[in-house]
Amino acid sequence: MNTLSGHRVLALAHRGASEGEQALENSREAFRRAVDLAADGVELDIHATADGSLVVHHDPDLPGIGTIAELDTRDVVRARLPNGEFVPLLGEVLDIIGEHDVWVEVKSMAGGVDASLLTTLDAGPAPDRYAVHSFDHRIIARLGRLRPTLRRGILLASHPVDVLRLLAEAEVDTLWMVRHFIDRELVSTVHDSGAGVIAWTVNEEKEIERVAELGVDGICGDFPERIVRVTRRGMA
């Protein structure tokens, strides 16, 4: 499929290739599946522990244990996910994903942990292929001040009056937009500013095709193989 801007749409595995019940989101199994399915990149979520470790998990709480931000690393890594795996740390997951692009969504992180995140990214197998994004634009601004060269994005779940102002204030190069607010005008406006657009979370084939035809730069979903199949149709 040729997009409006003539580029190949990136297929991003949302929390790994969770694919419904086939693999648990943000688990080692899901990240291995994402690599096996030839996703262009992987999206994952992190929270910081009380002692500064970075845990790959979507929700702020570990059921029956407590809030990640209030727990020490030793308590978190002993916790088991519903599939029996132990809760992974960011460094472990980067090693699993290897030489692939990784988009890290920072869910919660105190300012004192910013440097630890950068150090963890630097120690991964492919530091130049990592990017960060967040609903908390203040976190992204802090990371940008610490490392202006780090690829950064902001997440939106609504359509702002002035999207260019938000991009400029946060000094980011990527807008992560919830799929149903994406239209041709938004994509064109963001592209004219020099930034890219990633659609989330897109799982149905018709919706994958719709946002791809609007010219988005990436599509993030639980079924990366669907994104690959739909967006590569007719391509040599």
pLDDT in tens, 42-100: 999 999 999 999 999 999 999 999 999 999 999 999 999 999 999 999 999 999 999 99
CA 229 to chain centre: 20
**Rounded to an integer, what distance in angstroms lies between the CA atom of residue 202 and that of residue 8?**
17
**Spatial contact of 113 and 52, defined as CB atoms under 8 Å apart:** yes
Look up residue 10 and give its DSSP letter.
E
Q: pTM of the prediction? A: 0.94
Residues 140-158: tens digit of each pLDDT: 999 999 999 999 999 999 9
Residues 211-227: tens digit of each pLDDT: 999 999 999 999 999 99
Kindly state which CATH superfamily the domain 10-231 is placed in: Phosphatidylinositol (PI) phosphodiesterase (3.20.20.190)
Look up residue 52 and give its DSSP letter.
S
- Residue 211 is which amino acid? V
